[in-house]
Amino acid sequence: MKTHKSLLRTLPALLLLASLAGCAGFRITGDPRSGIASEPAPPTQLITAQLIEAEKALRARRSSESVSHLIVRNPPPYAIGRGDILSIVVWDHPELAGQGVAASATAADAQSPSAPPAGFVVDHDGRVQFPFAGALTLAGLTEDEARALLTKRLARYITNPLVTLRVQSYRSKRVYIDGEVRLPGLQSINDIPMTLVEALNRAGGMLPSADQSRIVLERGDARYQVGLRGLVARGINPGSILLAPGDVVRVHSRDESKVFVSGEVVTPKALTMHDGRLSLNEALGESGGISPISGDARQIYVIRRAVDGTRVYQLDARRAGALAMAEAFELEPRDLIYVAASPLANWYRSVSMLFPGALTQVVNISRP
């Protein structure tokens, strides 16, 4: 009985102390002993209809700028390169054929699957040695241009030469496909324009785990992020993105495009985006929603790591039209959604930390 009376006497002071502690917020500004102050918190932006429209316009502009350098409406014809093997036939002059690679190959080599096909190899200087014509620089020319040059040279020795020239083996230009595709590896560029869609199809297509919104194209020191569904939504044909020799295409996995929901929700978890799209409303819904016991619907935060620093967005779910704004607010990979606790939940936790078991004893005392 004495214990009960002492608890009742100290309860007002206990509640006052907890209230003051909750108002103060226990904000840490740094360790005074070390002389190091904490970094200032990033500014918080309220999620409004104007902010959503600005973010959507910025995202569309950023995506358009990233692929504008890659789109080619009318791809040029294939240009002969160093290492290509050419088939050259001069009609009615069979003695001029077979003077290239096959001339020095034995019968056993010809039957080997790794043996190079018969033809004329474009050397490291971009030239081809042909009877009567001598050394011809063909690298950088199309098949028609190379045929015209060879015909002009042979016309000095042969009356009205009829020449057939074509690329027999494409070995000079390649791209590399990596990531979530069925057949990753090198792809040779041939007379069919090597577009992004063509390269993905040659690689066997994308796996079910592929994120179609995160296809990264590396060209030299530049990196371009391509989202197939986003391009189609804006009326851009992905088949117009032309690859260049040496390009590296990486198809990322959906597991790399996650958002994290924590705080006062029913089920905190990491969520996988649906081909690059996940709204704030969907993320909260898949996490079971805001906890009805401890969550504060006025303090829903989205923390995003951007190039220029950390950005914090806040949604007040009690405002009119908040659900519509939450549905329109699109998340980005690695976003963190945090739902703050309500003032009552903070008060209860503060009292529980200061005086463990005190509230439980008070509740037991109050029971008849």
pTM for the structure as a whole? 0.70
Same domain, 134 and 180: no
Residues 23-55: tens digit of each pLDDT: 433 343 445 454 555 566 778 899 998 999 998
Give yes or no: residues 270 and 247 share one domain: no
Among 169, 185, 220, the domain-final residue is 169
Within a domain: residue 350?
A: yes
Number of domains present in the structure of the chain: 3
Q: What is the pLDDT of residue 358?
A: 54
Residue where one domain finishes, among candidates 169, 190, 223:
169
Boundary residue ending a domain (209, 234, 254): 254
Whether 162 is covered by a domain: the verdict is yes
Dump pLDDT digits (tens) for 50-108: 999 998 888 777 766 667 778 888 889 999 999 999 999 999 888 887 555 444 444 44
Q: What is the DSSP letter of 189?
A: -
66 within a domain of the structure (yes/no):
no
In a domain, 65, yes or no: no
The whole domain housing 248 covers 71-75+173-254
Q: What is the end-to-end Cα distance of the chain in Å, rounded?
A: 14
The candidate with the shortest Cα–Cα distance to 244, out of 70, 85, 82, is 70
List phi, psi (to 5°) of 272. -90, 135
Is the same domain home to 268 and 208?
Answer: no
β-partners of residue 290 are 265
Whether residues 136 and 115 share a domain: the answer is: yes
- Cα pseudo-dihedral 112, 113, 117, 122, rounded to 10: -110
Q: What is the CATH number of the domain that holds 32?
A: 3.10.560.10
